[in-house]
Structure 1
Amino acid sequence: MHVVSANAGPGKVVAPSVLESHGSVRPLAAEDLESVAALFLTKFRRRRRHLLDRAIAETADYMREIYLDPAGQSGASNALVQVNRQGRLGGFLGVLKARYELNGAALNAAIIGPLMADAGTDDGSAGPQLLRALHQGEFDLQLTDSANRTSLAFARPMKYQLLPVHCLGWTCIFRPAAMAAAALHRKWPGLPRLALDPCARAFDALAKRRFELPVQASSSQRVHSEPITSAQFAERLPTLLSDYSLRPSWKDGELPRLLALAAEKRADGPLHFGGTYDETGKMLGCYAFYGQAGDIASLLQIQASGSHWRATLDGLIAAAWDMGCVGITGQPQSRFMPQLFGYKNLFFRYAGGTMVRSRIAEVTEAVRAGDIFIGGVMGDRWTRLSSDDFGR
């Protein structure tokens, strides 16, 4: 959830449902998509005007896919727009619907994505108004794993609970100079690789001993990791979540469809899956990450059972290393933080606020106890809106 204000340029006039003193909130409709896409691109991608038209069309098509046409959804969109008193778009709140369960009881969850306000039409009320409308809706809990600092400032008074560990990001460096070059190339895609790569290779050759594979030979000689398919990952992940009281409840092929959408993300390379097995062939853990040779791998999801977190993390890092990635980044969970501390050349940073809100006391208590599965596929960082450069 990112709160921003931006001038979105010319916007379409949209008809509000019921006008209030500061405007009104209603579900996102197809006729809003181009205006919402322009607002998103102006702030989050800083797109130049001559490239904007193509980017707006691609962004609007993607927003239609995830907010208006998700498989199995009927009725109005869960995403919301705020319309000012003049009938113009004032703000947008991206919302993805999900199912959770708490000790067997079914819950409706709202996963919050981009939260935006147009500085040209908004008087400062759009963001709070959109969140209040969401809170008054059908959902038993609202959550986000990508809140920026502005979001944190006004969401906390609305009784959102912050999960500090999930707000961090971790980075394990394999080849420091090549990783710096990859980061520069992401920031400025026009930089020629020929100007960076030779220097990076020379430096990393000198630093090779310091930055060897940060994985033990094996946590157990009877445990091994190997690539798996998306279908195998989708089949196994829910069973590895059984020890969380508050966990997702995927039905009717929802998780395979979500993984197919996640695979559309382009910024970090293709999506890969792996599993950790014991000598009998039982899967002890699984992981999914984006990665390609010469670039920074990005963890989507990792989960393990019992005491097998270290072996599963070893498998993940070894897979990224063998692929030729220059490093790997991810979002931690409290359950494998102790294992992360055991790796060398691994650093932590603030990556985005993870917050949960619910009126149900039992949900609040589970969140306070850290007994919730959140982040990764139960967040919005898997969407193309989190990182992709539209229109190129």
Structure 2
Amino acid sequence: MLEKADTATVRDLETEDLPAVAGLFQKTFRGTASVPPSLLTYLHEILFDHPWYDQELRSKVFVAAHGQVRGFIGVFPARLEWEGRSLRAAFAGSMMVERPEEHPLAGARLLRAFLNGPQDLSLTETANATALGMWQKLSLPLDVAYSLNWLRILRPAAAAVNLMENAVSAARLLRPISQLADTAAEKLGLSVFHAPAAQASGRVRFQDAMMDEFVDAALTLKQEFPLRPQWDRHSLEWLLAHAAQKRRFGDPSWRVGISRDGEPVACYAYFGRPGGIGWLLQALCKPAAADDLVDDLFGHADGTGCAGIRGAGHPWLTPALITRRTIFHGRTFYLAHARDKTLLQPIQSGQALVSGLAGEKWMRLIGDRFD
């Protein structure tokens, strides 16, 4: 039986809703009804203990006529700055509706509740095809530059098995065969996928870094972007501490590029492990260092044995990625909305730092599991 629209409500999330939201998350994204305690703890941390928590920018729940939570959209606050102006922003993520055939308008109502909030900028970097359709019905187009997900293959057989495992877990049994195939191709000189050794340009020297050194570099390099997060050391360390827990793609590596005069001109953080496909969390650089950053990223991932490395849209890296055998594809979609359309200009021109650590992909809700 369909729920009548006027008998259901959309309201702000309360702490007592978290068990229902956790259960809905597990059913929707993990295919299980079991709710691990760690998920409840994590939800409270990112939804109520965020360093930029805003009482007016809370997540939304769809409550059916009988009072049960049947839908949810995560609202994650962000503080941005542009031309000396402080902006309130909010990212929408993890939208889910239980039994959507009974509540066909729930998703649209949750999205509208989010967009009608007090934020200056409404953003998402994780829209799937369904969510993209909802945004576009409101005449809100996707942003192509930040939606260009990419993949650089380093070991083709192992990369193919990794991709197969996303659909069929039993494909992991093929890992030993894929390793033999890639090793044989390398010995015979048949592999053209390995990243060439990074050429020493003389301009930038990359080195492994501790997390606090990465923080120092990121706080400096964020100034290269006209629209950027108002990170301070506390907020950035909080985000990185959460991101560092996200080990599905391997262990984190922090790299910083230093110029000849000793100043940081590039930095990046990625996760990777031998035989797996690594994942780039964040990359920042001065424009002249983009080629050096991409070369070092691919070379470092190759040297650690990754089958490949992938990432979401980093428009400032796109020219360098295009010229280095990188595959671009649609995986998730980036969308932005503002009542003041001038705020969208730096996003549309690819000059905004509004993804990764500056977005929502640092969260374990995206691509991680809870025990």
Would you call these one fold, judging by a TM-score over 0.5? yes
* 2:238 counterpart of 1:260: no
2:351 to 358, 371, 375: 371
Q: Which residue of 2 aligns with 1:177?
A: 157
State yes or no: 1:36 paired with 2:21: yes
Is residue 220 from structure 1 mapped to residue 191 from structure 2 by the alignment?
Answer: no
The 1:117–1:198 alpha-carbon spacing in structure 2 relative to 1, beyond 3 Å, is closer
Given the alignment of the two structures, is residue 154 of structure 1 paired with residue 129 of structure 2, yes or no? no
What is the one-letter code of the residue matched to 1:207? Answer: A
Deviation for aligned residue 1:146:
0.7
- The residue that corresponds to 1:320 in the other structure is 301
Distance of aligned partners of 1:20 and 1:120 in 2 relative to their CA distance in 1, 3 Å threshold: closer
Report the counterpart of residue 385 of structure 1 in structure 2. Answer: 365
SS in 1 for 2:219: helix
User: What displacement does 1:353 show?
Assistant: 0.8
- Distance, in Å, in 1 between the alignment partners of 2:100 and 2:133 is 22
Quickly say closer, same or farther: Cα 1:91–1:198, change in 2 above 3 A.
closer
1:297 matched to 2:282: no
- Alignment CA distance shift 1:365-1:159 (3 Å): farther
Indicate if the aligned counterparts of 1:173 and 1:327 stay in contact, CA closer than 8 A. Answer: yes
Residue number in structure 2 paired with 1:206: 184
Match of 2:69 in 1: 89
Query: Residue in 1 aligned with 2:217?
Result: 236
CA contact (8 A) 2:316 2:351 kept: no
354-363 or 121-130, larger mean C-alpha shift: 121-130
| In 1: Cα distance, 2:51 partner to 2:222 partner | 24
Query: What's the Cα RMSD here?
Result: 2.4
CA contact (8 A) 2:197 2:299 kept: no
Which stretch has the larger CA shift, 67-76 or 320-329?
67-76
- Please tell me whether the aligned partners of residues 316 and 350 of structure 2 are also in contact (alpha carbons under 8 angstroms): no
Displacement of 1:121 in angstroms is 8.3
Change (3 A) 1:101 1:222: closer
- 1:22–1:110: structure 2 CA closer, same or farther, 3 Å change rule? farther
Question: Is the alpha carbon distance of 1:293 and 1:124 closer, same or farther for their aligned partners in structure 2, counting shifts above 3 Å?
Answer: same
Higher mean C-alpha displacement, 141-150 vs 238-247:
238-247
Q: Does the 8 A contact of 1:173 with 1:211 survive in 2?
A: no
**Take 1:341 and 1:349, find their aligned partners in 2: how far apart are those partners?**
12
Q: Could you list the per-position Cα deviations for residues 177-205 of structure 1 after superposition, in whole angstroms to 9, with x for gaps in the alignment?
A: 122233445555566x6x42332122112
Contact 2:57 2:90 in 1 (8 A): no
Aligned length: 365
Instruction: Determine the C-alpha separation between the residues in 2 that align with 1:285 and 1:134.
Output: 35
Distance verdict in 2 for CA 1:239–1:95, change over 3 Å: same
1:291 is displaced (CA, Å) by 1.1
Distance 1:184 1:46 in 2: 19
Q: What secondary structure sits across from 2:11 in the alignment?
A: strand
Q: Deviations over 1:246-273 (max 9, x none)?
A: 2211136111111111111121112221
Match of 1:142 in 2: 122
In the alignment, the residues of structure 2 paired with residue 139 and residue 318 of structure 1 have an alpha-carbon distance, to the nearest angstrom, of: 41
How much has 1:340 moved relative to structure 2? 0.8
Matched with 1:276 is: 257
Query: What is the deviation of 1:300?
Result: 0.3
- Find out whether 1:165 has 2:162 as its counterpart: no
Q: CA deviation at 1:302?
A: 0.8
Q: Which moved more, 1:373-382 or 1:145-154?
A: 373-382
Relative to the length of structure 1, the TM-score reads 0.86
Q: In structure 1, list runs of 5 or more residues that go unmatched.
A: 1-18
User: Quick one: which amino acid aligns to residue 200 of structure 1?
Assistant: S
2:53 maps to 73
Deviates further, 174-183 or 72-81: 72-81
C-alpha separation between the residues in 1 aligned to 2:151 and 2:7?
A: 43
Distance (whole Å) between structure 2 residues aligned to residue 235 and residue 203 of structure 1? 42
* Counterpart residue type for residue 98 of structure 2: D
Task: Quote how far apart the aligned CAs of 1:140 are.
Answer: 0.8
| Regions of 4+ moved over 6 Å | none
| 1:124 aligned residue | 104
Structure 1 residue 89, shift from structure 2 partner:
1.2
Identity percentage of aligned residues? 30
Q: Which moved more, 1:93-102 or 1:279-288?
A: 279-288
TM-score normalised over the length of structure 2: 0.90
Deviation at 1:295, TM superposition (A): 1.5
- Could you tell me how far apart the structure 2 residues matched to 1:146 and 1:119 are? 22
Q: Could you say if the C-alpha distance between residues 141 and 159 of structure 1 is closer, same or farther in structure 2, counting changes exceeding 3 Å?
A: farther
Q: Decide whether the 8 Å contact of 1:215 with 1:343 is kept in 2.
A: no
Of 80, 91, 95 in structure 2, the residue corresponding to residue 100 of structure 1 is: 80
Aligned to 1:10: none
Alpha-carbon offset, residue 123 of structure 1: 2.5
Structure 1 match to 2:31: 46
